[in-house]
Amino acid sequence: MEFMYEAQPMRVVMRPGASLTAVAEEAERLGLRRLLVVCGQRGTETARTVADSLGDTCAGLFAQARQHVPVEVADRAVEAVRAVGADGCVAVGGGSAMGLGKAIALRTELPLIAVPSTYSGSEMTPVWGLTEHGAKRTGRSPSVLPRSVVYDPELTLSLPVSLSVTSGINAVAHAAEALYAPDATPLVSLMAEEGARAMAGALPGVAADPGDLESRGRALYGAWLCGATLGATTMGLHHKLCHVLGGTFGLPHAETHTVVLPYALAHNAPAAPEAMAALGRALATDNAPHALWDLSRRLGAPRSLAELGLSEADLSPAADEVTGQAYPNPRNLTAAGVREVLRAAYEGNRPPAWP
């Protein structure tokens, strides 16, 4: 057995009500005195509550985070940081807020505290992304990794069931691809399997009773583990598809991950039997792609790329872009093969068994 594993240097706090107490405690621990709080427009009320808990330590609130982090939004955020003389940043919200916080950290090297309100898992990774001229580029840098992550199940109680479901399946996608990543390790594989098990087990409870704090906490636990596997490994076909569909074609992030995942996994399954077995154990099934498709359908998630607004004419250009760069994947990729995956996801029927 041979592998390399590097632990991410961050502190994790998880408890109900932590967003109102632990953020200020973490800022003090880090020696921060002027924090800019960033969020998206939809999460302004929640972020303002966190900002208020910081008292005089809060230097301002920047509520312009958007999906896929448009570079012009990142530019404005950096200007806001410099205008208020911030010595750190607090990102409150989902993947859009986390992405903007990371963009600020990348440009300024200021420390970041993450307060997630969804299950995207971005807060656990050193991965950043920026979208410019219709193309999303990503990279890795230790400077964007949050110094502290504060998980508060109470903060997710207002997250609509529809977004809870798609955000949660987005997290499962991280774990699924980590299981067949070329740089997977025994510890990462254990975290991926447990993360997928926790999230898939929590989502039906969240959907049945959105106010169930136990299910919400279990989902955050799953998001933590799934996000950590994303941060520790290199993603394959599924994530590349979703980056292209989001960055180039403007599809919504979590919903796109939810629709695409069963089809990308079904395509890769013949080349990744051990990963599919592990994911099957997590989902209590002998067919993980079908189980995820069934879970999404049962919980009312979007079922097709057509439903998300992709046009049939976009399928070939998207496939060409996905196969235009080299990246690791257990199965050799061709433009024709990727078009088949996109076609199946576009139509939204039960995933086929690709040979």
Q: What angle do CA 162, 215, 149 make, to 5 degrees?
A: 90
Which pair of tokens denotes residue 80? 């806001």
Residue 69 belongs to what H/E stretch?
Answer: none
Which pair of tokens denotes residue 351? 């995933």
Which pair of tokens denotes residue 177? 């691809």
Share of residues in the chain with pLDDT > 90 (%): 88
Residue with tokens 């999303």: 136
Q: Which residues contact 97 (CB under 8 A, 6 or more apart)?
A: 38, 39, 40, 43, 47, 65, 91
**Please, are residues 251 and 324 in contact by the beta-carbon 8 Å criterion?**
no
Which pLDDT score is estimated for 354? 87
**Please, are residues 206 and 197 in contact by the beta-carbon 8 Å criterion?**
no
**Please, are residues 321 and 333 in contact by the beta-carbon 8 Å criterion?**
no
**Please, are residues 269 and 250 in contact by the beta-carbon 8 Å criterion?**
no
Which pLDDT score is estimated for 9? 81
Assess whether pLDDT exceeds 90 at residue 325: no
Task: For residue 259, give Cα distances in angstroms to 270, 293, 336.
Answer: 20, 8, 20
Q: What angle do CA 342, 73, 96 make, to 5 degrees?
A: 50
Residue with more model confidence, 95 or 269: 269
Assess whether pLDDT exceeds 80 at residue 1: no
What is the C-alpha separation between 46 and 183, in angstroms, rounded?
A: 37
Share of residues in the chain with pLDDT > 70 (%): 100
**Please, are residues 207 and 165 in contact by the beta-carbon 8 Å criterion?**
yes
pLDDT digits (tens, 9 = 90+) for 224-236: 999 999 999 999 9
* Domains along the chain with CATH numbers: 11-156 (3.40.50.1970), 161-347 (1.20.1090.10)
Q: Backbone dihedral region of 91: left (phi > 0), alpha (psi from -120 to 50 degrees) or beta?
A: beta
pLDDT digits (tens, 9 = 90+) for 303-320: 999 999 999 999 999 999
pTM metric for this prediction? 0.91
Three-class SS of residue 186? helix
Closest to 97 in 3D by CA, of 19, 39, 45, 166: 39
One-letter identity of residue 47: A
Task: For residue 65, give Cα distances in angstroms to 95, 141, 164, 175, 236.
Answer: 9, 20, 19, 26, 26
Which pLDDT score is estimated for 355? 82
Assess whether pLDDT exceeds 80 at residue 8: no
Quick one: CA torsion of 291, 160, 194, 286, rounded to 10 degrees?
Answer: 0
Which pair of tokens denotes residue 308? 């998300």
Query: Which band of pLDDT confidence, cut at 50, 70 and 90, is reported for residue 137?
Result: confident
Query: Which band of pLDDT confidence, cut at 50, 70 and 90, is reported for residue 123?
Result: very high
